[in-house]
Every structure is written in C-alpha cells, then in structure tokens.
Amino acid sequence: MILIDARAAVRPELGGVERWARETATRLPALHPGRYAAVLPPAALAHRAGHAWEQTILPALAARRRAELILCPANLAPLASRRNAVVIHDAAPLREPSWYSRAYVAWQRAVLPRIAHRARLVITVSAFSRNELAELLGVQATVVPGGVDARFNAAADPGAARAALGLTRPYVLTVASRTARKNLRVLELAAQRPAATARSFARRPAAVACGRWATSRTSNCRGSTPGRRRSCCPRCTRASA
C-alpha cells in the first residue's frame, strides 16, 4: 500500500501545491482503492501545527500499516522515513528567499535538502524545476507534469464564460496566487497600457484574473474541498478591458 500525505489537501486556500495534493489524495485512491490510501489530518493541522503530525504521526501510521511508500505531494515529507516519494514543486525559497518570511526560509533550508536526499524518489513538475533541484539540492528528480481535468478540452463551449465576463476579444487568464514570485504586476501593467488605435485595441487580449489573491478588480473564486472541483466561475471579472 502507498499512503498519501494529504496535509496540504485540507488547507482552505487553493494554490498549485494544494491542487496537486487534493487531486492526488482523491484520484489515486479512486483509481486503485487497494493500492492507495489518503491520510488526512484534522484541519487545524493543515499549516504550522501540522509539521509535528507530518514528522511523527504520519511515519508511525505508515509503519503500522506496513506501507511500501509515503507519497508526499506538497514539498515536505517525514524525515524519519526512508520510504518517501516526495513531490518538490520548486526550490523558490532557496533561490529567492526574499519572497518569504525568515522563519519559512529557515525551515526550508533546514529540512528540504535532508528530505530530498533521504527520499526514495524525488518528483518535480517541470524540466526547469528539475534543473533547479539539481543545482540547489544536488538531487536528480523525475519530471511528472500536472494533469488537466477532462472538462478543459478543445470541445468545451466558452460562450457562457465569455458572456458572463463580457469578453468580446481574445483574453489571457491567470489563476495564480497573488505573490511576488508570480509577477502579476507585469500582466496588470500590460493590460492597462493604452492601445494606439481602436483596431489594435480590438486585437489585444484582455487580462482576466481570478483566485483567492486576486486584485480588487476581480472577484474571489474560492476553491473547493477535497473531492470537489470547480473551474473559474462567472463571479470572476476582468482585471482590465
């Protein structure tokens, strides 16, 4: 059996790491019920308080259930275990520590190299991140790109969303968290730049943003709980015309 560390899946916010955790904790046990099992801590242990759960209770549960692996989809894993398959999405706290709090950077510097080197398997999401992990952590990671929900396909009808958002021309959509490393300010500036002519304005894509950390010009499109997924909703509005 493979146990899935679903601590990130119980967080109320929804970023890329949380989405990975939620989808992994939901889909893998559904595909292979006897092969995978998600372990979810109480919601109160989703963040800082959950480090102790992840480092002590999770490996104890894995030992008790004689788990072959602990699949950790959210960067961290129990140091006491030698059976970790950990997904390290990036090395941003090591590359650009100014983007994070001192406490968070100190914790990442202390545990991330040890987690990476003790893991049975290190997984990452792109060739870029693989190169970052090799340079900054000295480990070779296997690239497994994120999947795409079946609802997002070429046959999907965009009419309802276009009508709800008043989109009459091509658009650029961002669902990124509003943090410094996402560089959304550049997108905002580009969207707000005056067009030279009416014709060029009609051809220029609009900028559409949604998410928990969207600007005041956008509405909040909240994420769902594990097992329930929602796409961008009509309450999300344009960041710029």
- The pLDDT assigned to 58 comes to 96
Q: Distance between alpha carbon 26 and the CA centroid of its chain, in Å?
A: 15
- The pLDDT assigned to 121 comes to 98
CA distance from start to end of the chain: 51
Question: Using one digit for the tens of pLDDT, what is the confidence trace for 156-167?
Answer: 888 888 888 888
Q: Which token pair is 33?
A: 């019920």
Structural domains in the chain plus CATH codes: 2-143 (3.40.50.2000), 159-240 (no CATH)
Residues with pLDDT less than 70, the chain? 194-203, 211-241
Alpha-helix runs per DSSP H in the chain: 16-31, 50-52, 58-64, 92-95, 102-118, 127-137, 159-165, 184-192, 198-203
The C-alpha torsion from 10 through 143 and 221 to 210, rounded to 10°, is 150
- The pLDDT assigned to 60 comes to 96
Please list the residues that pair with 39 across neighbouring strands. 5
Q: Which token pair is 1?
A: 């059996």
- The pLDDT assigned to 109 comes to 96
- The pLDDT assigned to 80 comes to 92
Q: Distance between alpha carbon 124 and the CA centroid of its chain, in Å?
A: 12
* Residue 39, C-beta contacts closer than 8 angstroms, at least 6 positions apart: 3, 4, 5, 6, 58, 61
One-letter amino acid identity for 187?
L
- The pLDDT assigned to 202 comes to 61
For 199-236, give one letter per residue: b (16+ CB within 10 A) or e.
eeeeebebbbbbbeebeeebeebebeebeeeeebeeeb
